[in-house]
Amino acid sequence: MSVGTFYTRQVSQIKEEGWSAVQRKARQAVIRIVKLPIDIIVYLLILPMVLFVRLIKPFVFIRFGHVRSDVIGHSVFNPEYYLCDRELNNYKIIDCFYFQSYPFPNEQWALMVRRHLRINPFFKIFDKVNRTIPGWEKHFAHLIPFGSGSRDINGLLSQTKPHIRFTNEENSKGINFLQQRGLNSKDKFICLIVRDSAYKEKYQNQDGKDWSYHNYRDVDIDTYKETVLTLVKKGYWVFRMGKEVHKPLKEEHPRILDYANSSYRSDFLDIWLMANCFFCISNSTGLDEVSIIFRKPVVKSNMVPIQYTVSYSQCITVPKYLVYQDSNKLLTFSDHLAHSYLRSEEYDRARILVQDLTSKEIKDAALEMEARLTGSWEGSKQDLQFQQQFWKKFKQNKDFNKYHGWIHPEARIGASFLRENHEWFLV
pLDDT digits (tens, 9 = 90+) for 26-75: 555 544 544 557 778 888 889 999 999 999 999 999 999 999 998 999 99
Distance CA 123, CA 260 (A): 36
What local confidence, expressed as pLDDT, does residue 45 receive?
A: 87
CATH number of the domain located at residue range(s) 168-426 in this protein: 3.40.50.2000
What local confidence, expressed as pLDDT, does residue 20 receive?
A: 55
Return the sign of the alpha-carbon dihedral for residues 403, 338, 317, 229.
positive
Is the pLDDT score of 422 beyond 90?
Answer: no
Domain boundary assignment for the chain: 56-159, 168-426
According to DSSP, residue 356 is labeled: P
**Which residues, 6+ apart, have CB-to-CB distance to 402 below 8 Å?**
147
What local confidence, expressed as pLDDT, does residue 23 receive?
A: 54
Banded model confidence at residue 386, pLDDT cuts 50, 70, 90: very high
Torsional class of 416: left (φ above 0), alpha (ψ -120 to 50), beta (otherwise): alpha
Distance CA 117, CA 141 (A): 12
What are the Cα distances from residue 343, in Å, to 215, 240, 315, 339, 421? 8, 26, 24, 11, 25
Strands 189-193 and 279-282, sheet pairing: parallel
What local confidence, expressed as pLDDT, does residue 118 receive?
A: 97
Supply the pTM of this predicted model: 0.88
Of 281 and 398, more confident: 281
What local confidence, expressed as pLDDT, does residue 2 receive?
A: 47
- The letter for the amino acid at 243 is K
The mean per-residue pLDDT over the stretch 296-317 comes to 96
Phi–psi pair at 376, nearest 5 degrees: -105, 5
Q: Cα angle at 214 between 72 and 99, to 5 degrees?
A: 25
Closest CA to 207 of 70, 72, 344, 106: 70
Of 84 and 16, more confident: 84
The mean per-residue pLDDT over the stretch 96-116 comes to 95
What local confidence, expressed as pLDDT, does residue 426 receive?
A: 64
**% of the chain residues with pLDDT over 70:** 88
Query: Please, what is the end-to-end C-alpha distance for the chain in angstroms?
Result: 63
- 3-state class (DSSP) for residue 236: coil
Phi–psi pair at 392, nearest 5 degrees: -65, -45
